[in-house]
Amino acid sequence: MTDATTVDDAAKITELGRSAPTVPAHYSDLSAVESTAWALLVRGANARKSAFHQATVATVNAAGLPEARTVVLRAANAPTRSLRFHTDIRSGKVAEFAASPSCVIHFYDHGAKIQLRVRAHAHVHHKDDVTAPIWQQMRDMSKVCYRQPIGPGEPIEDPTIAETSLLGDDEAFANFVVVKLEARAMEWLYLAAAGHRRAEISYAGGPQEPPTMRWLAP
């Protein structure tokens, strides 16, 4: 299935969840659950208005406490079972990934009534052959947050201070990080009047092995 087809299919899935009187294929077919999940993820990466365009990433900080923040989904690849988002090297989550690369990224599409939790292993890329071409293709307005001289989360007395003196392109690129998430498992929840459906998809065998899938009590 091509990315273009996948995006179109995901749009239909969302519309189906809003008004269709019949249940979709993924209501009773585990293979359809997986293909629908990836269709929604690919559309989320490509369509700004998709409910899956933004997601919540959960990590654990140095004190052993949970952390959660919203990120923008930049890419999703079903064959490699991977996701991608961008962040700042000065962000707390980069250090958290270094200490423990395991994380969860959470999506919810209100229209489709679908919740998706992806357990993943994070790979952080900084000033390498992954980040360089992505940086070159980014629009200037998307680079502004990396031009800030003060790192995200640092205490400041004046909220405008970070806007007064922006860094140059080379310095900004040094702050840019690409995070690739290797999906290890998915947990899917579909809310339906006919009865909810919940499923688990495991990729424990790696991207070359078929997934293990099972239904869960909703």
pTM here is 0.87
Q: What is the pLDDT of residue 1?
A: 41
Give the chain as a 3 state SS string.
Answer: CCHHHHHHHHHHHHHHHHHCCCCCHHHCCHHHHHHHHHHHHHHHHHCCCCCCCEEEEEEECCCCCEEEEEEECCEEECCCCEEEEEEECCCHHHHHHHHCCEEEEEEEECCCCEEEEEEEEEEEEECCCCHHHHHHHCCHHHHHHHHCCCCCCCCCCCCCHHHCCCCCHHHHHCCEEEEEEEEEEEEEEECCCCCCEEEEEECCCCCCCCCEEEEECC
192-217 mean pLDDT:
93
State the pLDDT at residue 23. Answer: 83
What is the percent of the chain with per-residue pLDDT over 70, rounded to a whole number? 89
pLDDT tens, residue by residue, 18-28: 554 578 999 99
pLDDT in tens, 110-134: 999 999 999 999 999 999 999 999 9
